[in-house]
Structures are given as structure tokens and as C-alpha cells.
Amino acid sequence: MRLLFIRHGEPDYERDSLTKKGFKEAEYLAEYLAGEKIDKCFVSPLGRAKATAAPTLEKKQMTAVECQWLEEFPAKVIRPDKGYKINCWDFLPEDWTNVSEYYDKNLWAKTKLMEEGAVFSNYQEVTQSFDKLLADNGYVREGNLYRVTRANRDTLAFFCHFALECVLLSHLIGASPMVLWHGFCAAPSSVTTVFTEERREGKASFRISRFGDVSHLYVKEEEPSFFARYCETFDSDELHD
């Protein structure tokens, strides 16, 4: 089985929609995905994800199942440098990298900050819903592997959000989401591909074959959006925080 995680196009967060550039990205994405085999589509309930999915669904004459758990990961914590609640996936490097627990897949959610924000309960809600969907499609989680009940080469596409995508990937590969949230960057409208590997019959794992692909933009000579990144050098006028 193949999974496609597609981040929404450049967002207009105030309207929960897309910018002019974002709508253009969605159209270029649709042109690319028109040639891809996709068997089922799932979409976040948020407007920016729906707007991104719409051109692809129209071109492929498909409908998408709306899943509440695909919305942007909602957990919030009191970030050390802010003093008020903010997304749990946006820390300054000097704050989270000094806490060894954040690198551990079993301990990252057990720090005081994460426990106060009930972050792990949100993580479980998302990953359990995801595992139910995978089970319905032939892959049942048992420990850190998946028992294959119906081996298949179907492609499932998820139109969602960056932090949420990192949650799902961390669950599939057994990693702390903190490392993915801060060590990876998926540009708007990017595509991440994950395949199953069944090296022994009935036992499957998931492997990422490409992350954050925006080749559909480069083909159109469209510069990827800067959203989700921060300043490359401190003296720039790019986003600092």
C-alpha cells in the first residue's frame, strides 16, 4: 500500500483558505496528481486543505472522506519563551534541544510542559483514528509493526497539514514527533510518499520514500512558498518567529 501526505497550499490563515499563490499551487498539484494512481482520498475539515484538494478531486472525478482527526494538530502548551499557550510543535531550538526526553519516542510527551497541555491524549486520538483507517484497508497495527490482513497496492491520499503529517509519520516509523516537527519542513502543496514493505509474509512496516516533494511547482517555474520555514540567516527580513 502507498500513502500520500499532501500539505495544503500557501495558506491564508485568517480566512482559513488559500492565498492567490496557494490556489495556483493547488492547480499545479492537481495537474501532477491527475497522472497518479489514487484509490481513496481523505481530507481535513479545514478550509485550506479542502481548497487544496478540490482541483485534484475534480480532475480525477473523485470525492474525499472528510476526517476530523486530519485537522492541524491542535495541542497547545505554554512555550518557555512566550509565557502563554502556543502550538506544541513550535519551540525555539535552544529550548527543546536541551531536553533529552524530546528526542525519545517514549518520553517526548512526558515532560511537564507536554503533560500540562495533555498533548499525548491528542496524539493518541489522531494515531488511533489513523490506525483504524489502516486496519480497514488491510494493515492492523500490532506493536511497532502491522499485521497484513489484505495485502494490496492501493494508494491513499491525505490532504492535511504539516504538523499533523509529522504526527502520522512519527507514528509509522517509531520516532518522536518533536524531531520531525523541528528537523523537517514540508512546503505548501508538497507531497510525501510512504510505502509498505512486507519482507516476511503477513508482517509490514512503513517506509518514507520521498518527503516534501514540490517538483510539480518547479516544472511550472513556480517558487515554493516560504511558509513553515524560518529565516535562513538572522539578518534577513524573513520570518523569525
Q: The whole model's pTM is what?
A: 0.96
For residue 79, give the amino acid letter.
Answer: R
List average pLDDT for each run of 10 residues in the chain, which is 241 residues long.
Answer: 98 97 98 96 98 98 98 94 91 94 97 95 98 98 97 98 98 98 97 98 98 97 92 88 80
What residue ranges in 79-202 does DSSP mark as E strands?
85-87, 139-142, 145-148, 155-160, 191-200
Residue 26 CB partners (closer than 8 Å, separation 6+)? 9, 18, 51, 52, 53, 54, 55, 56, 189
How many C-beta neighbours within 10 Å does residue 131 have? 16
Tell me the CA distances in angstroms from 49 to 83, 139, 180, one per residue in order. Answer: 30, 26, 21
Render pLDDT for 56-84 as a digit per residue (tens, 0 to 9): 999 999 999 999 999 999 999 998 898 89
Angstrom distance (rounded) from CA 168 to CA 152? 20
pLDDT digits (tens, 9 = 90+) for 149-182: 999 999 999 999 999 999 999 999 999 999 999 9
